[in-house]
Structure 1
Amino acid sequence: MRDVLRILLPPLIWLASFVAIYGLHGVGCVLLWPEVAMPVMSLFRWLLFLAWLAAVLAQVGLLLALRSERFRSDSPFIRWTSTAMSWVGLIATLWTLYPVAVLSPCAVG
C-alpha cells in the first residue's frame, strides 16, 4: 500500500494545489484583492504567487523525500516510477499553475 502512495502522492499534491490556487484566484477576484496595493504587487498577486511557490516547494520536497533512503521503496520499479511521477507532478505544477499565479487577471464584468 505504501508503494501505491509513493506513486500517487505527486499527482494528488498537484491536483490539490491546482484546486486551491484556482479557488484562491476566484475568491480573490470576488473580494477585489487586486485593488489592495502592497509593495511590488497587489495582495492578490502576492497570495497567488506565494501559493504557487508553496506548491512548487511541496513537489520538490516530495521528489527529494522519495529519493532519500528513508522513504524510497526497495523495489527498483517502484523507485523509478515514484521518481518519474514526482517529476511529472513538479512539471505539471510549474506548467499549469504559473500562468494563473502570475499572468491571469480577473475578468471585468
Structure 2
Amino acid sequence: MRSSPFTHDFLLLFSAPLIWALHFVAIYGFNGILCARPGANAAWLGLSVATWVLLAAGLAAAAAIVACMTVAPRDAARENRRFVRWVTRGLGGLALVAIAWETMSVLLVPGCP
C-alpha cells in the first residue's frame, strides 16, 4: 500500500524530530535501568557497556536522520517540494546537533554515580 503524497511529505518533515525523540527516550531509559542494576555495567576496551550502547544508539539515530534527509518529497508542486526538502533538512540538522550533544555527554560525564 502506497501512502498519499501528503502523508509521505508530512512524515518526511517530522522524521528527524521523531527519530531524535525516540533516541532521547531510549538512551535515558536504558541508562536509568542500567544504573538501577549496579552489577550489570561491565567494562569493555576501557569503556562501560552502557557507553558503547549509547554511542551505537547515537550513530544509528544519526544515520537514520541523514537517510531521511536524502528522501525526495512527492508533492506535485515544485515550490512545495523545495519547501519540504528545506524544512526536512533544517529539522534534520537541528536533530543531529541534539543527538551529538546528548552523545557527547556520555563521554564526558560518568553515567552511573
Give the shorter-chain TM-score range: 0.7 to 0.9
Provide the C-alpha distance between the structure 2 equivalents of 1:93 and 1:37, rounded to a whole number of angstroms.
23
Provide the C-alpha distance between the structure 2 equivalents of 1:26 and 1:104, rounded to a whole number of angstroms.
14
- Structure 2 stretches of 5 or more lacking a match? 1-6, 76-80
**TM-score normalized with structure 1 length:** 0.76
The equivalent position to 1:102 in structure 2, one of 90, 95, 107, is: 107
Q: Is the 8 A contact 1:7 1:81 kept in 2?
A: yes
Determine if the alignment matches structure 1 residue 52 to structure 2 residue 58: yes
Equivalent in the alignment of 2:73: 72
Equivalent in the alignment of 2:13: 7
| Identity score, percent | 33
Show the 5 A alignment for 1:17-36.
Answer: 17-32=23-38, 33-34=40-41, 36=42
Distance verdict in 2 for CA 1:7–1:41, change over 3 Å: same
Q: Is the 8 A contact 2:8 2:73 kept in 1?
A: no
Q: Which is worse superposed, 79-88 or 18-27?
A: 79-88
Q: CA deviation at 1:45?
A: 1.8
- The structure with the largest alpha-carbon Rg is 2
**TM-score normalized with structure 2 length:** 0.74
Q: CA deviation at 1:6?
A: 1.1
How many residue pairs match? The answer is 101
Deviation readout 1:26-52 (Å, 9 max, x if unpaired)? 011112234x12222122222222222
Runs (4 or more) in structure 1 with deviation over 4 Å come to none
Provide the C-alpha distance between the structure 2 equivalents of 1:98 and 1:61, rounded to a whole number of angstroms.
22
